[in-house]
Every structure is written in C-alpha cells, then in structure tokens.
C-alpha cells in the first residue's frame, strides 16, 4: 500500500516505534549514547598509566645497597641479572 504525504511533518507522524513517536526514540538513543560515553570515560580513568614517583628506589636496588654495605643478614643473597651476591 503506497500512501502519498504532502509534508515531512505528516511523514514523521506516520513513523511509530511500539506506539511511541520519533521524539521518544531519539531520547532513548541519547540516553544510550550517554551511558556509552560514561562507560568509556570510566574505563579510561580506571586504566590510566601510573608512573613511579621521582627518586623511587626499587627493592632490588635497596637489597644490593644493603649487601654492599654489609647490612644483609647471613644467607640473604640478592639475585640481580642472574648473579647472586651473598655475604
């Protein structure tokens, strides 16, 4: 069945989405878009890169410094690049 309409307003009035008009469908799409953007922003904030602060000294470097100073206890060797430093 082909029906001719004389204006765009009449054409829009013919569209129905489960008994609702086009404005409700557009509102629903806007809500979905807002949820999508909110989830994307939350994901980006959660997965941001965290850098080590300046002046950070790692556990291996601290253990090597203790071993070189003689502060390491007996039997506390330090593994560094496959070399074992022991007392």
pTM: predicted TM-score of the whole model, two decimal places:
0.38
Count of domains forming the chain: 2
Gyration radius from the chain CA atoms: 34
In a domain, 3, yes or no: no
At 21-63, the pLDDT tens digits run: 778 888 889 999 999 999 999 999 888 887 777 777 778 888 7
Chain segment 9-23, per-residue pLDDT in tens: 877 777 765 666 778
> Domain range for residue 36?
8-46
The answer for 82, left when phi > 0, alpha when psi is -120 to 50, beta otherwise, is left
Q: Is residue 2 part of a domain?
A: no
Per the domain annotation, does 30 fall within a domain?
yes
């Amino acid at each position: 069945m082909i029906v001719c309409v004389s204006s765009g307003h009449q054409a829009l009035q013919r569209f129905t989405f489960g008994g609702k008009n086009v404005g409700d469908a557009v509102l629903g799409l806007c809500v979905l878009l807002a949820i999508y953007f909110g989830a994307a922003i939350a994901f980006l904030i959660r997965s941001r890169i965290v850098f080590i602060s300046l002046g950070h000294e790692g556990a291996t470097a601290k253990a090597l410094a203790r071993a070189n100073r003689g502060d390491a206890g007996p039997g506390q060797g330090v593994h560094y690049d496959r070399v074992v430093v022991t007392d």
